[in-house]
A = this chain, B = another copy of it.
Amino acid sequence: MFDAQLDPTGHILTLTGPDGPQRFHAMWLRDNAWDADTRAPGNGQRLVALRDIPADTKMTKVAVSDDRITVSFSPEGKTITYEAGWLSANAYDRPAPAQKGWTSAEIEPWDARLMGSVPVGDFARMTQDDAALGDWLALVNRYGFGKLENGPIEDGALFKVVDLFGYVRETNYGRKFEVRTEVNPTNLAFTGLGLQAHTDNPYRDPVPSVQVLYCLESSAAGGENMVVDGFAAALRLRDEYPDYFTALSSYCARFEYAGEDGVCLQSRRPMIELAPDGELIAVRFNNRSLAAVTDVPFDKMQIYYAAYRRLGEIIDDPAMEVTFRLEPGEAFVVDNTRVLHARKAYSGAGTRWLQGCYSDKDGLRSTYAAMRRADMKEAAE
């Protein structure tokens, strides 16, 4: 049961429900009305701008009936009904996050102990069964990566993976790129060298937020894939050395790649990126493409380099890494704003052929959110 009270000025409504009292402002309530004049019934887009809502808007009356709250606004003389559950779910009357580096409850940082339960999905099943796809997307959302098994062994099969959730982000590397040993490589990824765990293309802004690596041949010795949770690494850095976390999140690094004619990709972004309210939103880490860092003040450069070194040590710590081998017809999808990937060195004997491409999280998150919303609707009906 809900109770609703207006303050004497008509600017604040206090809604008291099972979770205790929550205050709402008149302007926020009016702007978030869902009547057909405010929001287009079909697509939900707002039909009015804030300029259409008087600056002196206040509430003149409130009534509660079951789980609905009806509010009258002056000077428009408009009456709007809200679902109490919607108001509770969107309440903002709560303390601000206390510590920098907080993450959404949907995200679970992990380390080597995840090894026994690597998130995995069956490609063939996912193409036919939405529930299987939804389960796998939930894992990718939670852990920042997911393996796929039982896919076709054919050139371009990786595009079928992207089709599950989004769209290919084409770049100067093409719609896809081949990862195998090359003579005179333009990029160290195309050699047999082991690579330190890294995020891809930090020199690109916006960075490609999803990467797909798809295995077509795998008979060379070595070349195992390895992933490290960049969020877990950043949080460990914060807990061990708060000043280091502050240094890497307060100043921008610079990244550059100019290894091909006509290409000069440059970015200026922090290695640990926080939203303005301290949410941990991205990690960039790539020794190969780090350019000269010139945006750290002189008296902070020493601690900046110490922090960068320590973050690298954490990333290199076997206690952080999860390894797995990709066989032909297997792939992995990685949130390139969070999870670092690497491969162990491999020898020239035998072959190792992967195809890679980029995509973006907007599509992946949208597909997953739309599935969850449809499930909730079904459950409610």
Q: Taking beta carbons and an 8 Å cutoff, which residues of A are in contact with B?
A: 11, 23, 25, 27-28, 31-32, 40, 42-51, 55, 90-96, 167-172, 184-188, 196, 204-207, 209, 249-252, 256-270, 273-277, 279, 287-290, 292-298, 301-302, 305, 308-309, 312-313, 316, 360-363, 365-367, 369-370, 373
Contacts and interface: CB of A to CB of B under 8 A. Distances in A.
A251 B265 contact: no
A162 B276 CA distance: 33
21 contacts: A25-B302, A28-B292, A28-B301, A32-B292, A43-B185, A47-B188, A48-B287, A49-B312, A50-B309, A92-B295, A92-B298, A94-B298, A167-B171, A205-B362, A206-B361, A250-B276, A258-B373, A262-B370, A264-B366, A266-B365, A277-B295
A330 B298 CA distance: 49
Nearest to A275: B252
Contact of A188 (B11, B40, B288, B302): B40
A309 B11 CA distance: 17
Contacts of A313: 51
A250 B275 CA distance: 9
Given A46-B287, A186-B43, A298-B92, A370 B258 contact: yes
Given A55-B309, A169-B360, 17 more contacts: A23-B298, A28-B292, A42-B186, A43-B185, A43-B187, A49-B312, A51-B313, A92-B298, A93-B298, A96-B297, A167-B172, A171-B362, A171-B363, A204-B362, A206-B206, A268-B275, A273-B276
Contacts of A261: 370
A91 B292 CA distance: 9
A362 B301 contact: no
A293 B28 contact: yes
A182 to B, nearest CB: 12
A362 B265 contact: yes
A270 B50 CA distance: 17
A297 B92 contact: yes
A252 to B, nearest CB: 6
A60 to B, nearest CB: 19
Given A25-B301, A170-B168, A206-B207, A42 B287 contact: no
Contact of A49 (B196, B262, B302): B196
Contacts of A46: 287-290
Nearest to A53: B309
Contacts of A260: 43
Nearest to A359: B170
A45 B187 contact: yes
Contacts of A256: 44
Nearest to A368: B264
A312 B206 contact: no
Contacts of A51: 196, 309, 312-313, 316
